[in-house]
Amino acid sequence: MRDLLRRTPCAVLVVLLLPALSACGRGLDARRATVCRRAVPALVPRDASVSLLRVGSGSSADSIRVDYRLTGGSDASKARWIVCAFGPGSSLDSITTESGPISGASVYLLRHYYLDTPEAVAADPAGR
């Protein structure tokens, strides 16, 4: 009986902490979410204004989905989205939109010449 009482508090503690610990691996990576959000203004018409609807996990483990709406244009009522897939760290590997995948060359140029610029920071829809 003594062994049972000694083990029970530990078992209860493990049962209580297990859901919290398992949630740690599923949290949204803030850096990846920022990279994906900052890609949106580069993919829409220059005169369009972006209104974020949702930023969350994509369908795969290493992806982020951004749902948004364009405001002030003829397609303002149409909900749009992009899914950014990432490699190791925050390395953007691919982008898919509601219209289909973005070419690898376009993703490369976006990643290397736009996403970390002051222009991308200023155009980030979350900063508006």
- How far apart CA 115 and CA 128 sit, in angstroms, is 17
Which residues are paired to 67 by β-bridges? Answer: 54, 81
| 101-120 confidence digits (pLDDT tens) | 999 999 999 999 999 999 99
Question: Which helix (H) or strand (E) element contains residue 94?
Answer: strand 92-97
Task: Residue 86: count other Cβ atoms within 10 Å of its Cβ.
Answer: 21
| 60-110 confidence digits (pLDDT tens) | 999 999 999 998 766 666 889 999 999 988 899 999 999 999 999 999 999
pLDDT at 32 over 70: yes
Radius of gyration of the chain (CA): 20
Give me the domain span that covers residue 120. Answer: 30-127
Whether residue 114 is contained in a domain is answered as yes
Structural domain count, the chain: 1
Whether residue 120 is contained in a domain is answered as yes
- How far apart CA 124 and CA 117 sit, in angstroms, is 11
